[in-house]
Amino acid sequence: MAPSSNTLRATSSNPLLSTKPSDTPLSVQLHPLVLLTISDYITRHTLRSQSGPITGAVIGEQNGREVTLEFAFETKISDKNDSDEVKLDEDFLTIRVEQYKEVHKAPPLDVVALFMLAPASGPQEWQVGVLKQVQTLLGNEGTMLLLFHPEGVASMEGGKLPISLYEPVRDVLDGTEELRFREVAFEVETGEAEMIGVDFVAKGGGSAVAVAQAATTGGAESSGAKDGKKAKGKGKGKEGETVAEGSETNGSAQHVLSPEDEELIASLTAKANAVKMLAQRVKLLRAYLAQLPESYLTDSTSEILPSDTTNHALLRNINALMVRQRLLAPSTSTPQSDTSSPINPSIATAASRAAADVHLTSLLASLTRATSEAQSMANKYKLVSRERTNKDRNMSSFTSSGGYGNGSMGTAEAGEF
C-alpha cells in the first residue's frame, strides 16, 4: 500500500471548494482497477469520437470514515433532457447498481463516488448538478467526486496521478447552506488477486500491440507482393526496386515477436536486473569491509581495536549472510573413481539421490497398495466367516425346533390312542 503523492491544492481559485478543514479526515483506499476502467472508457470515448461528457460511477465499501474505491462502470447520459443541463439516465444507473449489489454481497458494496473529467482547478457547475441527481436517486449524500485531469497526463512527475478526489460538504454562507467540496488525500491499495488481473491486462495490451504490428506488416508485405507482380510486366528496373522493398518488408516481419517470446524476454530481463542488483550490493559490501581495519577476532596479534562508530549490527548481518551462503553453494563431493566421466560429481550425486527418492516413493506406493489389498481380503474373509456362522446357527436352531415338535406330536397321538 503506497500513499498517494497528490497534494491538496489551493482552494482560492475555485468558488466551489471549501476552505474549512475537516475535523475527522477520510481514509480512502483507491484500487487500480478503477484507474484501468477510467482509462479504458476515456480511450474508447476518444477513438470513437463520441459526443457528450464522460461520466461514471465508482463502487466501493464505506465503513464510517474509511472508504474503498474498488470497481467502476460508465453511466449513460439521458436523451430525454430538453434543457442544457447534463442529466444521467436514472433507469440505466439504477439497474447497473442493483446488478453490482447482487454480485458483491459480501462485503456489500455501493456507489461511493462519481468519476468525470475536469481541470486541475477542481469541480465545475454542471458536475454539481449531476452529483445532486445521484445523491437524490441513491439516497447517499456522501457520494464523492473523482476527477480526472487530462492536461496532467503529459506532465506527470514522480508517479503523481492526474486525478483528484473531493468530498461534498455543507457550508453556511450568508445564512444559506450551500454544497462545497473539500479535497481528500487517498492511498493506492492493491491486493494479490488484483495484481494478477493488472498484470494480465498489461500483458494483453502488449500482445495486442504486437498483433497489430504484425497485421500492419502483413498488409504491407501483401501490397508489396502485388506491386512486384505489376512491376514484372513493366520493366526490370521496377522489378529490382520491388524486390528490394519486399526483402525489407520480410526483414521487418521477421522481427515481430510472439506473446510467448515477449513474456520470455521480460522474465529474462527481470532476472538479469536482479543479478545486476545483487552484484552491485555485493560490491558495495566488499568496499565497506575493505575500508575497515583488521579484526582482532581473527588476528590475535592485532592491536587495532574497532572505532566507536563501527556498525556492529551491519557486521552481524553480513556474517549471517555469509553463513547462509554455504547452504546456497553446490555440494562439492569427492571425485569418483571413473575420472573419464564428463559428469560433475556433485551433479551425479544429486542425480543418484533423486533416483533413490523416486525408487523409495515407488516402494512406498507398492507397500501401501499391498497393505490395502490385504486389509480388503481380511474384511472379505471376516464377512464370509460371519455369514457361515450365522447359517450354521440357523440350521442348528431349525433342527432342534423340528425335533421338539415331532416329539410333542407323538405324545399327543399316544394319549388319544
Read off the CATH number of the domain in which 176 is found. 3.40.140.10
Domain span at 218: 195-256
Which pLDDT score is estimated for 402?
59
DSSP for residue 75? -
pLDDT score, position 274? 86
- Is the same domain home to 152 and 55? yes
Q: What is residue 234's predicted lDDT score, i.e. its pLDDT?
A: 43
Shared domain for 142 and 208, answered yes or no, is no
Residues 247 and 137 in one domain: no
- In a domain? residue 224: yes
* 106 and 128 housed in the same domain: yes
Whether 251 is covered by a domain: the verdict is yes
Q: pLDDT class for 1, splitting at 50, 70, 90?
A: very low
Judge if 275 and 375 occupy the same domain.
Answer: no
Q: Are residues 213 and 250 in the same domain?
A: yes
- Are 165 and 119 in the same domain? yes
Asked whether residue 396 is domain-assigned, the answer is: no
Instruction: Read off the pLDDT band of 74 (50, 70, 90).
Output: very high
Residue 357 has pLDDT above 60, yes or no: yes
Average pLDDT over residues 28-49: 90
Rounded percentage of the chain residues whose pLDDT exceeds 70: 70
> Among 45-54, 169-178, 252-261, which range has the highest average pLDDT?
45-54
User: Which pLDDT does position 157 carry in this prediction?
Assistant: 62
- Using only the alpha carbons of the chain, give its radius of gyration: 40
**Which helix or strand (DSSP H or E) is residue 231 part of?**
helix 192-234
Give the span between the Cα atoms of 283 and 312, in whole angstroms. Answer: 19
Q: Who has greater pLDDT, 236 or 23?
A: 23
pLDDT band at 344 (very low <50, low <70, confident <90, very high): low
What is the C-alpha to C-alpha distance for residues 15 and 163, in angstroms, rounded to an integer? 19
Q: Is 383 exposed, middle or buried (0-12, 13-18, 19+ CB in 10 A)?
A: exposed
CA distance 417 to 407: 16
The pLDDT, as a whole number, for residue 22 is 80
Contacts of 118 (CB under 8 A, 6+ apart): 124, 127, 147, 148, 149, 164
Is residue 324 domain-resident? no
| Residue 102, C-alpha cell as written in the block | 447482487
**Do 86 and 36 belong to one domain?**
yes
65 and 203 share one domain: no
Whether residue 143 sits in one domain with residue 15? yes
What confidence category does residue 29 fall into, taking pLDDT thresholds of 50, 70 and 90? Answer: very high
Asked if pLDDT for residue 379 goes beyond 80, the answer is yes
Global pTM value: 0.48
Q: Which residues contact 143 (CB under 8 A, 6 or more apart)?
A: 111, 112, 113, 114, 131, 134, 135, 168
SS3 at position 201: helix
Domain count, the chain: 4
Whether residues 51 and 166 fall in one domain: yes
Instruction: Please report whether residue 81 resides in a domain.
Output: yes
Query: Residue 115's beta-bridge partner residues?
Result: 56, 146
Same domain, 144 and 54: yes
In a domain, 392, yes or no: no
